């Protein structure tokens, strides 16, 4: 290529490429969403369909399911690129890898994190969560799922070269998800009980900015390690 | 200084020096251990509330301190690996992981044994217990990742990155869990927070803490020597060492 791309062009180009790939592979990317719904369906079956019990634990269930769904989808961030060699092209490009990583993670979030926003209100309603808590639930999903993608990207980058990366990935990533789970679930729970939630939301935002600024560098370092 | 650093980093030199240090360190460790245990189990007075069963702190508290300390050492080694690609730091990082996991496990087990007579249950979802459990998972993640990567040097770089990511997250996880606990805790589990600890209890505790640090040093040197021999098994100096003995 004789013409050089600027950094923002490269970012957008990569973002568009990943989104296009996702649109062509719709079925594969719908799986985590389906998984999310399925896991939540299991809880009433296991615990009994007492309305007050379900309403009480709905925020926790929804967030645990979101965590698991995010983890299930993580592998797709770098897997196919690693297999077909485009990851090496990304690493060899003249642009800073951390920024390109951020493009890939953003695409992943748009494809797997954002759809949860569409399904979560429906599931919250089915579990009988009070409707005052719905905006807070959506807000925590909005802020929390990008953090899951960003942290998860580090784990995927570390394990993408391994044959049995999947199980190790969950061991690496789930402990790091604990803070997001705590703050997101407690914000939603507080909202359901009619309390103030701004403290939790601010903490989540702080995690989001921290992970946006730090995680791409760690991911880039891990990708260089995996590709070498 | 830098020369010393470089020389110490070379595997044959480290192998020899570590071999000389191990007997010294382990004898000091034994002296401190005996003194600490004597002071803790026999000399120290029983606690006015907890009676004799508080004495497990002489193992529990140093183990819990070690569990954090070793993770920080690992992250420090990880930074050295990433920046200078120093082989010795890789070896120390890997050798520390399972020792750290063992100390974390020991802290959890002794804590729950203490919890049974004190709280009436082996496990409560207390903030400290929960974050210690998560720390154990972080250690296991490091070990699992290292075992999964076949090439030793790549594995060391992967675990270095993970250790650094983990050390950034440990305070965040710790405080989140503490925050979570203050929200959720209904039953009153009074935390073991003595306002001022008796000197006769404090001295054995500190002796045990130093003894545990030395124990870690001894074991990490032993493991590092093994690891170095294994990694360098095709070199001349290892053949000489093996030929000597």
Distances (CA, A) of B65 to A117, A164, B93, B216: 42, 34, 18, 12
Could you count the other beta carbons within 10 Å of the beta carbon of residue B105? 17
pLDDT (0 to 100) of residue B125: 83
- φ, ψ (nearest 5 deg) of residue B47: -70, 145
Residue B154, H or E segment = helix B152-184
Is B141 within 8 Å of A207 when comparing Cβ atoms?
A: no
> Do B176 and A175 lie within an 8 Å CB cutoff?
no
Would you give per-residue pLDDT tens digits along chain A (228 residues)? 446 788 899 999 999 999 999 999 888 888 889 999 999 999 999 988 888 899 889 999 999 999 999 998 898 889 888 988 889 998 998 899 999 999 999 999 999 989 999 899 999 999 988 888 999 999 999 999 999 999 999 999 999 988 777 789 999 999 999 999 999 999 998 898 888 889 999 999 999 999 999 999 999 999 998 887
Residue owning tokens 């590092």:
B224
pLDDT at residue B2 in the model: 64
Q: Which residues of B touch A101 (CB under 8 A)?
A: none
> What's the rounded Cα separation, in Å, for the pair A152 and A142?
16
**Contact call for B172 and A162, based on CB within 8 A:** no
What would the two tokens of residue B36 be? Answer: 């600490």
How many CB atoms are closer than 10 A to CB B185? 13
Which pLDDT does position B186 carry in this prediction?
Answer: 46
Give the one of A183, A214, A225 whose C-beta lies nearest to B154's C-beta: A225
- The per-residue pLDDT for B93 is 94
Name every chain A residue with its beta carbon within 8 A of the beta carbon of B183: 186
The burial of A18, by beta-carbon neighbours within 10 Å (0-12 exposed, 13-18 middle, 19 or more buried), is given as buried
Could you report the predicted ipTM of this complex, rounded to two decimals?
A: 0.89
Q: Do A154 and B183 touch (CB under 8 A)?
A: no
Q: What is the pLDDT of residues B49-60, one digit of tens each?
A: 777 778 888 899
Rounded to whole angstroms, how far apart are CA atoms A111 and B67?
A: 39
Higher pLDDT, B47 or B78: B78
Unique residue bearing structure tokens 């569990």: B67
Shortest distance, CA B75 to any CA of chain A (angstroms): 13
Candidates A44, A42, A39; CA nearest to A68 is A39
How buried is B199 (Cβ within 10 angstroms: 0-12 exposed, 13-18 middle, 19+ buried)? exposed
Over range B72-85, report the average pLDDT.
92
pLDDT at B189: 43
For A21: left if phi > 0, alpha if psi spans -120 to 50, otherwise beta; the answer is alpha
Is B140 at the interface with chain A, CB within 8 A? yes
pTM: 0.89
Cite the beta strand spans of B71-214 per DSSP E: none
Query: What are the tens digits of pLDDT across the range B106-119?
Result: 999 998 888 888 88
Cβ pair A222:B158 closer than 8 A = yes
Helix (H) or strand (E) holding B24: helix B11-38
Highest mean pLDDT among A35-39, B10-14, B41-45, B81-85: A35-39
Most confident of A25-34, A194-203, B211-220, B225-234: B211-220
Residue of B nearest to A199 (CA): B179
Residue B162's pLDDT is what? 94
Instruction: Name the token pair of B235.
Output: 């070199």
Partners of A59 on chain B (C-beta within 8 Å) are none
3 state SS of B167: helix
Contacts of A13-20 spanning 24+ positions with Cβ under 8 A:
A14/A90, A14/A100, A14/A103, A14/A104, A14/A107, A15/A103, A15/A104, A15/A106, A15/A107, A18/A103, A18/A104, A18/A107, A18/A108, A18/A111, A19/A107, A19/A110, A19/A111
Q: Give the span between the Cα atoms of A94 and B216, in whole angstroms.
A: 45
| Residue A195 backbone zone (phi > 0: left; psi -120 to 50: alpha; other: beta) | beta
DSSP A113: I
- The yes-or-no verdict on residue B191 having pLDDT over 50 is no
| Separation in Å, CA A84 to CA A79, A156, A218 | 9, 16, 23
Cα angle B25, B26, B28; round to 5: 65
Asked if A183's CB is within 8 angstroms of B137's CB, the reply is no
User: Residue A38's CB: how many other CB atoms inside 10 A?
Assistant: 11
**What confidence tens digit (pLDDT) does each residue in B12-37 have?**
888 888 889 999 999 999 999 999 99
Residue B167 has pLDDT above 50, yes or no: yes
User: Which residues of chain A are within 8 Å of residue B148 when distances are taken between CB atoms?
Assistant: 159, 162, 164-165, 168
Is the model's pLDDT at B193 over the cut of 60? no
Mutate to test the interface with B, among A151, A155, A179 (most CBs of B within 10 A): A179
Angle at the Cα of A119 from the Cα atoms of A116 and A121, rounded to 5 degrees = 110
C-alpha span between A122 and B236 (Å, rounded):
69
Confidence at residue B3, expressed as pLDDT on a 0 to 100 scale: 65
Convert the pLDDT of each residue in B127-156 to its tens digit.
888 889 999 999 999 999 999 988 888 999
Partner-chain residue, chosen from B82, B134, B168, that has the shortest CB–CB distance to A175:
B134
User: d(Cα A128, Cα A144) in Å, to the nearest integer?
Assistant: 22
Angle (nearest 5°) at CA A78 between A76 and A80: 70
In 3D, which of B189, B159, B148 has the Cα closest to residue B73? B159
- Assess contact for B86 and B77: CB atoms under 8 A: no
Q: Is the sign of the CA dihedral A32, A33, A39, A42 positive or negative?
A: negative
Q: If 0-12 CB within 10 Å is exposed, 13-18 middle and 19+ buried, where does residue A196 land?
A: exposed
Give the chain A residue whose CA is nearest to the CA of B82: A221
Asked if B162 and A159 come within 8 Å (Cβ–Cβ), the reply is: no
Minimum distance, in Å, between the CA of residue B151 and any CA atom of chain A: 11
- For B167, the closest chain A residue by CA position comes to A176
Q: For B150, which residue in chain A has the nearest alpha carbon? A: A162
**How many angstroms from the chain centroid is the CA of residue A58?**
20
Determine whether the interchain pair A172/B141 forms a contact, defined as Cβ–Cβ distance below 8 Å: yes
A66 or B199, which is more confident?
A: A66
Model confidence at B185, in pLDDT bands (50, 70, 90)?
A: very low
CA of residue B162 relative to chain centroid, distance? 17
């Amino acid at each position: 290529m004789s013409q050089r791309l600027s950094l923002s062009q490269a970012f957008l180009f990569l973002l568009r490429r990943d989104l296009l790939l996702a649109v062509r592979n719709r079925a594969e990317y719908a799986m985590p969403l389906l998984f999310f719904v399925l896991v939540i369906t299991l809880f009433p079956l296991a615990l009994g369909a007492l309305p007050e019990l379900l309403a009480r634990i709905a925020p926790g269930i929804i967030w645990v399911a979101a965590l698991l769904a995010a983890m299930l989808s993580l592998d797709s961030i770098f897997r196919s690129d690693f297999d077909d060699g485009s990851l090496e092209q990304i690493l060899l490009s003249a642009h800073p890898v951390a920024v390109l990583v951020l493009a890939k993670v953003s695409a992943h979030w748009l494809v797997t994190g954002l759809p949860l926003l569409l399904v979560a209100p429906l599931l919250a309603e089915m579990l009988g969560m009070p409707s005052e808590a719905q905006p807070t639930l959506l807000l925590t999903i909005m802020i929390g799922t990008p953090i899951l993608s960003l942290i998860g990207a580090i784990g995927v980058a570390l394990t993408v070269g391994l044959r049995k990366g999947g199980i190790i990935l969950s061991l690496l990533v789930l402990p790091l998800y604990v803070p997001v789970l705590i703050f997101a679930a407690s914000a939603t729970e507080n909202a359901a009980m009619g309390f103030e939630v701004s403290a939790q939301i601010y903490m989540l935002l702080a995690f989001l900015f921290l992970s946006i600024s730090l995680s791409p560098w760690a991911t880039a370092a891990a990708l260089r390690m995996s590709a070498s | 200084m830098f020369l010393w650093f470089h020389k110490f980093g070379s595997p044959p030199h480290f192998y020899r020096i570590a071999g000389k240090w191990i007997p010294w360190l382990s004898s000091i460790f034994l002296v401190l251990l005996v003194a600490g245990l004597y002071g803790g189990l026999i000399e120290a007075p029983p606690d006015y509330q907890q009676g004799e069963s508080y004495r497990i702190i002489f193992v529990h508290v140093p183990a819990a301190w070690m569990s954090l300390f070793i993770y920080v050492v690992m992250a420090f080694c990880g930074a050295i690996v990433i920046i200078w690609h120093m082989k010795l730091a890789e070896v120390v990082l890997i050798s520390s992981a399972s020792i750290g996991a063992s100390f974390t496990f020991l802290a959890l087990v002794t804590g729950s044994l203490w919890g049974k007579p004190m709280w009436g249950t082996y496990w409560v979802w207390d903030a400290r217990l929960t974050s210690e459990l998560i720390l154990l998972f972080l250690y296991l993640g490091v070990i699992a990742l290292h075992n999964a990567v076949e090439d030793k040097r790549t594995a060391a770089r992967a675990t270095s990155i993970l250790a650094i990511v983990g050390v950034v997250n440990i305070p965040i996880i710790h405080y989140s869990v503490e925050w979570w606990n203050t929200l959720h805790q209904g039953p009153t589990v009074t935390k073991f927070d003595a306002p001022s600890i008796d000197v006769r209890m404090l001295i054995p505790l500190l002796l045990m803490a130093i003894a545990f640090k030395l124990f870690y040093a001894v074991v990490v040197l032993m493991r590092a020597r093994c690891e170095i021999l294994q990694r360098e098994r095709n070199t001349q100096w290892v053949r000489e060492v093996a030929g000597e003995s």
